[in-house]
Structure 1
Amino acid sequence: MTFLFPPFEPDRKNGRRRFSRLRRIPVRLLVPNMVTLLALCAGLTAMRLAIEHRFELAIAAIAFAAVLDMLDGRIARLLKSTSRFGAELDSLADFVNFGVAPGIILYVFALDELKSLGWIAVLILALATVLRLARFNVSLDAPNKPAWAQGFFVGVPAPAGAMVALLPIYLELIGIPHFDGTAVTSCFYIMGVAFLMVSRLPTFSLKKTGERVRRDLVLPIMLAVVLFFALLFSYPWTTLAVASAIYLATIPMAIIRYRTLARQHGDPGNDPIDETPAPPPEREPIELAEGKPDEKTPD
């Protein structure tokens, strides 16, 4: 029997083909990736809903994608199924969900009134998101940060940036009328959010909050979470608008807190605000076979 597309087999012997067995992959390795793909579907659906001017459902789809983005990494670590493939897939999904989809929603909402200028703002938001994700992926291979700096991001993370960028829509859904300057205000506002995403300003990170909680804070945290979701389901747009404003207000607090911890520990911790490259470490000359020192400088 001949095959239309025979597999590449460089180790054939005596003209007989040896087919490799199909490797079985544990289901636990697929679960985080399926969650990521589900989040990607939510982001793509949000763009369709925006085109149909169903902005409430579009924002709900983006929020759902943000929740799934928080869960997929935790599920992967819980099931011990982290992989390089999953990390790359997560970054690509985040670019669509939190860079492209919010821009399309805002363009259909108001920025189309500005024609090319509104589209430029959408492009800036998308480019800021992809640059922020690329910088984050590169930082994974960098040396570990000090323990006190683990609670900070460099710049506004993509999910938070997407939810904050949608603030003009929250305000209109609350009841603030659409006026002549809505498009211009929204344009410059999302450009500012894009700047915060690619900036080196420290922002609070919640990644470590789910690991350890002080005993005296268990009940207050549980009550706060229940209260937040109760308000979210009862007054969704007011809650999201207030939450966005509170998040923006925490950025100066994060900068002050970061600088305070840096002074207390006497370690700049690669200060995101004022980072200067460290001089290359000096190394002793290496004796070559001829007995002459190596004069090459480190890269």
Structure 2
Amino acid sequence: MPSNEPEGPKPGFGGPRIREIPLRLVIPNLITVMAICAGLTGIRLAFEGRFELAVAMVLFAAALDALDGRTARMLKASSKFGAQMDSLADVINFGVAPAMVLYPFLLHQLNSLGWIAALIFAIACALRLARFNVMAEDPDRPVWQTAYFVGIPAPAGAVLVLLPVYIGFLGAPLDGALAPAAAVYCVLIALLMVSRIRVWSGKAPGQRINRDSVPFFLLCAVLLVMLFVAYTWYTLTAVVVAYLVFLPFSALAYRRREAAENAE
């Protein structure tokens, strides 16, 4: 006799029901996807000759990259899937996109040599991110070392490598020695990304800003934003130069801290 009980899912026709995912888990990944869209749009704009918008898209992707991680931590929505998505997005936004902006803007004058310089930068970014992921999973890494990046971080590398573009926007002639200098500079930034130089991250555990310093800090932040809006390329050039000058002091601070820790 036929049974009156409802039939369960038949093999090959369905399966376990996918559980609903809270919206808070989707938001950080949505920001990451938006960052990928910004980076890829920057590549398109560069090959269309709209270089200022292309650079703006790379900078916008960097801003979204800073936002997605903080959003995930704030919403308690961190996940391994999100971490992998973030790494893949960083390769596109901070490795491929800046290289593809710099090449048609300037490096194409060197033909294959310019393309090799762009490739070296993109590959160095991928290697740097792979090393970062491995080190992040190291349970034996001392806590104090998390306050320092190993090598220039990918977003900073993307902003730094576009310095020849900023200089071009300021009116520097694009012919002559600028293209060879840009190729050498591109390779130098790539080497700094995969180097062992320690770069202060500003994420030291338990780090706090003195209450009396908060107004000064906010004033400096507002001033920087206003300068960026009013004098975008001058400000970016100054920021890049300041960051490069900061690197030796960061490495020295790490060595002193390491010596102090070893002495205990």
TM-score, normalised relative to structure 2: 0.92
Retained in 1: the 8 A contact 2:42–2:57? yes
Other structure's SS at 1:92 match: helix
**How big is the shift at 1:175?**
2.0
Kindly provide the CA deviation profile for residues 139-183 of structure 1, in whole angstroms up to 9, marking residues without a partner as x.
111125334323210000000000000000101111222231111
Q: Which amino acid aligns with 2:96?
A: V
Tell me, yes or no, if structure 1 residue 199 matches structure 2 residue 192.
no
Number of the residue aligned with 2:70: 74
Number of the residue aligned with 1:118: 114
Kindly provide the CA deviation profile for residues 47-92 of structure 1, in whole angstroms up to 9, marking residues without a partner as x.
0111111111111111110011011011101111111100000000
Other structure's SS at 1:200 match: coil
CA distance in 1, matches of 2:12, 2:111: 64
Number of the residue aligned with 1:44: 40
Number of the residue aligned with 2:218: 222
Number of the residue aligned with 1:136: 132
Number of the residue aligned with 1:242: 238
Residue ranges of structure 1 left out of the alignment (5+ in a row): 1-10, 269-299
Report the structure number with the largest CA radius of gyration: 1
Number of the residue aligned with 1:4: none
Number of the residue aligned with 2:161: 165
**How big is the shift at 1:122?**
1.0
Match of 1:150 among 126, 146, 157: 146
Q: Which has the higher helix share?
A: 2
Number of the residue aligned with 1:261: 257
Tell me, yes or no, if structure 1 residue 30 matches structure 2 residue 17.
no
CA distance in 2, matches of 1:16, 1:168: 58
Match of 1:53 among 37, 49, 56: 49
**How big is the shift at 1:265?**
2.3
Give the total of aligned pairs: 257
Q: Which amino acid aligns with 1:199?
A: S
Tell me, yes or no, if structure 1 residue 104 matches structure 2 residue 100.
yes
CA distance in 2, matches of 1:198, 1:117: 21
Other structure's SS at 1:150 match: helix
Retained in 1: the 8 A contact 2:144–2:205? no
Tell me, yes or no, if structure 1 residue 83 matches structure 2 residue 86.
no
Other structure's SS at 1:203 match: strand
Other structure's SS at 2:149 match: strand
Match of 2:60 among 61, 64, 69: 64
CA distance in 2, matches of 1:53, 1:18: 50
Higher alpha-carbon deviation: 18-27 or 187-196: 18-27
- The 1:19/1:150 distance shift into structure 2, 3 A limit, reads closer
- The 1:210/1:125 distance shift into structure 2, 3 A limit, reads farther
Retained in 1: the 8 A contact 2:144–2:204? no
CA distance in 2, matches of 1:36, 1:12: 36
- The 1:231/1:219 distance shift into structure 2, 3 A limit, reads same
Kindly provide the CA deviation profile for residues 188-220 of structure 1, in whole angstroms up to 9, marking residues without a partner as x.
100000000000000110334996322122111
Other structure's SS at 1:163 match: helix
Number of the residue aligned with 1:292: none
Number of the residue aligned with 2:5: none
- The 1:36/1:140 distance shift into structure 2, 3 A limit, reads same
Other structure's SS at 2:160 match: helix
Give me the CA root mean square deviation: 2.1
